[in-house]
Structure 1
Amino acid sequence: MADITLTAAVVLCVAALAAGWIDAVVGGGGLLLLPALLLGLPADQPPTDALGTNKAVAVTGTSMAAVTYARTGALDVRRALRLAALATCASAGGAAFASAIDKDVLQPLIMVLLLGVAAFVVLRPHFGTVVDERPPSRRRAMAALAVVGVGIAFYDGLVGPGTGTFLVIGLVALLRLDMLAATATAKVVNVGTNLGALAVFTALGSVLWQLAPFMAVFNVLGGWLGARMALRRGSGFVRVVLLVVVTALVARLAYDQWWA
């Protein structure tokens, strides 16, 4: 059992709330939650415990966001479930390899992903705002299954941060969905990837169950608030917040990795 201080637990619960909100609106809540776990847990804690606990928390907020979107009719449920079924299996496969990842490798990898997401958000501010009414071709649909249902899902099980954002980008680019429909679909797919990885991490004993339920409550609240905000206001404001959070996390992880 991890020796977690009360202060660290409170900070992690607040991070779970913020991550649920960000993930529901624009994706990428793991870019906040996983680094927070890596920084908040004891230094001798295996990185797989952070990965597993992240999945146990994230699946709750993502599920809440998916249900909220589904009730509004903002997504094609049949297509989303088909992608989610494939993604569940691929994510479980990725999680099976996660124990081979060292924390000294994981943190720099997360920093690179953070910078990549930040660059994309800055350089493509209007990505997904123009709706294309043409149905995707069979080739595009198959590419979406390969990239979204297998590639990104495997990555989510293996590492995870940024999966929501990568799913949105893939769905917009390949299926020509608008940002709201892509975000709604991504939530359903992300539930599948979280469940697949969580099953493996639970079997490996890599979930801190004395901490995860408390963080999950805050993550659900954040997911509910974030989904409602996305439906009401769009993702423009949250893009700015995401950039601020990404910048702060890169600075903090760089300090912890090289100068602390």
Structure 2
Amino acid sequence: MDYITPELMLLLPLAFSAGLIDSAVGGGGLIQVPGLFSILPQQTPAMLLGTNKLSSICGTAIATHQYSKRIQLNWRMLYGAILATLFFSVAGASAVALLPVQYLRPIMLVLLLIMVIYTLLKKNLGQHPVDLKLSEKQEKTRGLALGVGIGLYDGFFGPGTGSILAFAFVKLFGHDFLKATAHSKVLNLAANVGALGLFGLQHNVLWGTGILMGLSNIAGALCGTHAVGKYGAPFIRKVFIFILSATIIKFTFDTVKLFLA
């Protein structure tokens, strides 16, 4: 049964922290998902993942709105990317049963290591926008490709989606970290909506718990976007490196544990 419990009181500060971190550069799932699995062990993994999506959508929607008021978003590119993300996030979530997630973990670990090392070596990466002189067609093509890739990944697996998106927008479109994060929130929201739709149809969402966590997630997102607006791209770059490092540690621990099991 889905109702307010003492366990929920433990989840609310976790949801706040997740919203705070996620609004800055992504990675809220590193806090929220383990928290749900630890505090509500009696629920199925699908139910906990669906509840996480509901909570995350609330904070991500607010963060997207806050960023859109400050940053000019490239909607001509984003429209196609949003549709691709929505469709392929559902496809990714549907494919979970076809390929065990553990096979993806080592690949993602290598990718994240490359991203954090590259960011540390390129000290000016994402500090200032770079004009890549992309045509409108090139922007739309890159947006579609990004939507397909991130939709599949987020629906199938998910951890680190926001950080991967931010890095991709810096490299593929020449954005600084502030603008990249603003654009990444839009696609992150689309991916969450697609996955939540599937979880909802399968009755794998604790709606009461998810909504209350979502309100806490919103409060965290408002604090996070305020900090981003105040400190800008250099602040996001530091948070980005921290979140990537935390993700790598978690992936390494989980991968070793799987191979030793």
TM-score, L = length of structure 1: 0.82
Indicate if the aligned counterparts of 2:126 and 2:237 stay in contact, CA closer than 8 A. no
Aligned counterparts of 2:78 and 2:134: Cα–Cα separation in 1: 15
Which runs of structure 2 are paired with 1:6-25 in the superposition (5 Å)?
A: 6=6, 8-25=7-24
Structure 1 residue identity aligned to 2:133? P
Cα distance per residue 1:214-237 (max 9 Å; x no partner): 110111111111112112113144
Measure how far apart 1:100 and its partner are.
Answer: 5.7
Deviating runs (4+, > 3 A) in structure 1?
Answer: 1-5, 98-102, 108-119, 137-141, 243-260
Measure how far apart 1:179 and its partner are.
Answer: 1.3
Q: 1:220 aligns with which of 218, 221, 229?
A: 218
Indicate if the aligned counterparts of 1:51 and 1:159 stay in contact, CA closer than 8 A. no
Question: What is aligned with 1:191?
Answer: 189
For the pair 1:36 / 2:31, whether they are aligned, the reply is no
**Structure 1 16/110 Cα, relative in aligned 2: closer, same or farther at 3 Å?**
farther
Q: 1:53 aligns with which of 34, 39, 51?
A: 51
Which runs of structure 2 are paired with 1:115-154 in the superposition (5 Å)?
A: 117=112, 120-125=115-120, 126=123, 127-137=125-135, 138-139=137-138, 141-146=140-145, 148-154=146-152
Measure how far apart 1:14 and its partner are.
Answer: 1.7
Root mean square deviation, CA, Å:
3.2
Measure how far apart 1:197 and its partner are.
Answer: 0.8
Aligned counterparts of 2:38 and 2:252: Cα–Cα separation in 1: 13
Q: 1:69 aligns with which of 43, 67, 70?
A: 67
Cα distance per residue 1:13-47 (max 9 Å; x no partner): 222111111111112222322232233321x5322
Measure how far apart 1:201 and its partner are.
Answer: 0.5
For the pair 1:98 / 2:96, whether they are aligned, the reply is yes
Q: What SS class does the counterpart of residue 200 from structure 2 fall into? A: helix
Structure 1 residue runs of 5 or longer lacking an equivalent are none
Identity of aligned residues (%): 32
TM-score, L = length of structure 2: 0.82
Judge which range, 133-142 or 50-59, deviates more. Answer: 133-142
**Structure 1 33/202 Cα, relative in aligned 2: closer, same or farther at 3 Å?**
same
Q: What SS class does the counterpart of residue 208 from structure 2 fall into? A: coil
Indicate if the aligned counterparts of 2:64 and 2:186 stay in contact, CA closer than 8 A. yes
Structure 2 residue identity aligned to 1:120? M
Cα distance per residue 1:188-208 (max 9 Å; x no partner): 111111111111100001111
**Structure 1 28/93 Cα, relative in aligned 2: closer, same or farther at 3 Å?**
same
Measure how far apart 1:149 and its partner are.
Answer: 0.8
Indicate if the aligned counterparts of 1:25 and 1:226 stay in contact, CA closer than 8 A. yes
Number of aligned residue pairs: give it.
254
Aligned counterparts of 1:253 and 1:5: Cα–Cα separation in 2: 29
